[in-house]
Structure 1
Amino acid sequence: MLKVASLGSGSKGNATLIATEKATVMVDCGFTLKETLKRLERLEVAPSSVDAILVTHEHQDHISGVGPLSRKFDIPVWSTKGSLLSGKCGKLKNYSIIEGFQGFEIGDIDILPISVPHDAREPCQYLFSAHQKRLAVLTDLGSYTPEIVETLQDCHGLLLECNHDEEMLWNGPYPYSLKQRVGGPLGHMSNNQAIKLLQQVISQNLELLIASHISEQNNCPDLVKKTVAEAAGWPPERVFIAEQDEGFGWFELTKN
């Protein structure tokens, strides 16, 4: 059994839970401690049951709650050296450095860090494997590489960044400099980029597809569902959205 849930996804805060019957890990924590505990309670997860917090990068919407949560409940933190050197976690008593994007294990979950192009010190995303299931969390990247495409082959579940619609971004209210950053090769993936990546990695194994990190100003969930579903050859109701306020509840990978 491999399952996933989200505390929330977007520019105001991000946190994702990956769990088996034996282990639970959190990818990022971009909420205050109080808000994190409230959202964990909604998912019926005790903070003391979280075995590790995995950091993707040091931007505030991903890392601001990592230190407080780790210190409060003595949860180990895993991070690249670059992300840790940002100092955004504060002083940590319990942490491990990810060296060279080498894989590691937590309980019965195999975890492979994925190097991604994003405007941070040493950003990564993660591929999780357990019980013959593969689940990738792939958000916060401005573009994708051949190595990313290769790593994502034969996934059973995919959390895929669909940050912005390109037309909405460039015609929207952001300052030009911010538009350049978001739409640039180290910024965030557009809907078009996401579907191009999806078309290169989708297989008969894929049973769960969740669009994440959707911009509230420069995108629309209905547009994302329609666009991604068409690319996958699925009905729109099979594509799910990681919302900023609600995240999403538990999804279990079950298809044989």
Structure 2
Amino acid sequence: MGDAASGGLTFASLGSGSKGNATLVSDGETHLLVDCGFGLKETERRLARLGLHPRQLDAVLVTHEHGDHIRGVGPLARRHRVPVYLTPGTWLSGRLGELPHRHWITPQARFAVKGLMIDPITVPHDAREPVQFCIAGSSRRLGLLTDLGHPSAHVVEAFAGCDGLVLECNHDRRMLAEGPYPASLKRRVGGDWGHLANVQAAWLLQRLGLDRLQRIVCSHLSEHNNRPELALEALVPLLDGDDSRLRIAAQDDGLAWQTLG
């Protein structure tokens, strides 16, 4: 299983973007998959690339019901009997199908999956009952913020003090304004309940503080409205020009295992 068993809190991305999102988090004993926006066979292939079989998963945590986050949740849960944790609002969307082992999430109410402690945090996004997660284990804390309309005060408070952060850098505002999307979609993406712009990600990161952060991963980059170099350009000045802590979670290649030691 490679770096997933190396100790500390580790995480990796199966892929991140409008075509599918999924993040692995592990302490070497407990393995969580946060969202599963890829079809079953593609999910199995990407898990294998990271050294895991689906039956090694202890749970799938679902943030919200949009297709790029849930496409593979039902098929994976049914084929491999993986427990699924989600809010009632996400379930009531009717988009997940039968889930053999379903567990309710209450926003702001901490719960555990084996050795990992999970805080589900309400976020501003255009879904029925969306949450994002802070996951703690091995004395380390990882924040996952992949879909966020704006960096609210509640989000700033909830995600302070992380050792690692997977942070949405969805779009560059100029590229979005000048890009191919229709006006209605531009308003949705750039609105307070849509997705985070690079400059908003930088603002949020500055408010959260950088002292403890060992890894900052730019995620959910738009294929049409962003480029990796623009996301990095927005964040690097906060790190005094040192980009060694920054990574990109790519759509096709994901991100290899990262360790918070």
Sort the Cα spacing of 1:26 and 1:234 in 2 relative to 1 into closer, same or farther, 3 A: farther
Q: Which amino acid aligns with 2:84?
A: V
Of 95, 112, 116 in structure 2, the residue corresponding to residue 109 of structure 1 is 116
TM-score by length of 1: 0.97
Deviates more, 1:79-88 or 1:221-230: 221-230
The alpha-carbon deviation at position 223 of structure 1 amounts to 1.4
**Matches for 1:16-27 after TM superposition, within 5 Å:** 16-27=23-34
**Matches for 1:81-120 after TM superposition, within 5 Å:** 81-120=88-127
Contact 1:198 1:232 in 2 (8 A): no
Deviates more, 1:97-106 or 1:8-17: 97-106
Q: Which amino acid aligns with 1:49?
A: Q
Contact 1:202 1:232 in 2 (8 A): no
Query: Which sections of structure 2, spanning at least 5 residues, go unmatched?
Result: 1-7
Of 196, 199, 204 in structure 2, the residue corresponding to residue 197 of structure 1 is 204
Structure 1 stretches of 4+ with a deviation exceeding 4 A read none
Of 53, 64, 88 in structure 1, the residue corresponding to residue 60 of structure 2 is 53
Q: Which residue of 2 aligns with 1:248?
A: 255
Q: Which residue of 1 aligns with 2:15?
A: 8
Query: Which sections of structure 1, spanning at least 5 residues, go unmatched?
Result: none
Sort the Cα spacing of 1:22 and 1:252 in 2 relative to 1 into closer, same or farther, 3 A: same
Q: Which residue of 2 aligns with 1:135?
A: 142
Q: Does 1:122 align with 2:129?
A: yes
CA distance in structure 2 between the partners assigned to 1:237 and 1:137 by the alignment: 20
Of 15, 24, 28 in structure 1, the residue corresponding to residue 35 of structure 2 is 28
**Matches for 1:105-254 after TM superposition, within 5 Å:** 105-254=112-261
> Residues 31-82 of structure 1, C-alpha deviation per residue, up to 9 Å, x if partnerless?
0001000101110111100000000000000011000000101000000000
Sort the Cα spacing of 1:237 and 1:203 in 2 relative to 1 into closer, same or farther, 3 A: closer
CA distance in structure 2 between the partners assigned to 1:236 and 1:252 by the alignment: 17
CA distance in structure 2 between the partners assigned to 1:100 and 1:214 by the alignment: 26
Count residues with an aligned counterpart. Answer: 254
Determine helix, strand or coil for the equivalent of 1:219.
coil
The alpha-carbon deviation at position 236 of structure 1 amounts to 2.7
Contact 1:226 1:236 in 2 (8 A): no
TM-score by length of 2: 0.95
Deviates more, 1:229-238 or 1:68-77: 229-238
Q: Which residue of 2 aligns with 1:65?
A: 72
Sort the Cα spacing of 1:184 and 1:72 in 2 relative to 1 into closer, same or farther, 3 A: same
The alpha-carbon deviation at position 2 of structure 1 amounts to 0.3
